[in-house]
């Protein structure tokens, strides 16, 4: 018989990390698009 886990998977933390990664993509991407929209200088 498997020993009972002392703690549960931190599901809320996983959700927050996913949001964090999406934020990284969105904000970095928005900076990148701003750069492109300004065109070559």
Partner 1 sequence: MYARENKIAGWSLAVAMIALFIGGSMGPLQKLNYAGVNLYDTLNDIGLASYYQGLTLHAVLNALVWTTFFIVGFFTFALVRSLNMPLKMPWLNVAALIVMVIGLIMAAIPILLNLATVLFTFYPPLQANTFFYLGLTLVVIGSWMHGYGYYLTYWEWRKQNKGTRTPFIALAIIITMVMWQIATLGVAIEIIFLIIPWSLGWVEGTDPTLARTFFWFFGHPLVYFWLLPAYVSWYAMLPKQAGGKLFSEGLARLVFWLFLALSVPVGLHHQYLDPGVPAGWKAVHAMITFALFFPSMVTAFTVVASLEVGGRARGGTGLLGWIRALPWGDPSVTAQLLAMILFVFGGIGGLTNASYNLNLVIHNTSWVPGHFHLTVGSAVTLTFMGIAYWLVPAISGKNLWSRKVALWQGWTWFVGMILMSNGLHILGLNFSMPRRTMIGAAPYADPAWNPLLFEAMIGGLILGVSGLLFYANMLGTVLSRKKAETPVEMPVAESMDATPAPAWLDSWKPWMALTIVLILIAYGPILVDLISSAQFTSPGFTPW
Instruction: Please report whether residue 5 would count as binding partner 1 according to CB under 8 A.
Output: no
**Minimum distance of partner 1 from residue 1's CB (angstroms):** 21
Closer residue to partner 1 (CB): 4 or 34: 34
Q: 3-state secondary structure string, the chain? A: CCCCCCCCCCHHHHHHHHHHHHHHHHHHHHHHHHHHHHCCC
Residues 9-38 that bind partner 1 (CB under 8 A): 10-13, 15-17, 20, 23-24, 27-28, 31-32, 34-35, 38
Instruction: Collapse the DSSP code of 31 into the 3-class scheme (helix H, G, I; strand E, B; otherwise coil) and give the result.
Output: helix
């Amino acid at each position: 018989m498997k020993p009972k886990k002392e703690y549960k998977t931190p599901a809320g933390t996983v959700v927050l990390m996913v949001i964090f990664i999406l934020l990284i993509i969105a904000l970095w991407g928005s900076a990148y698009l701003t750069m492109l929209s300004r065109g070559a200088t």
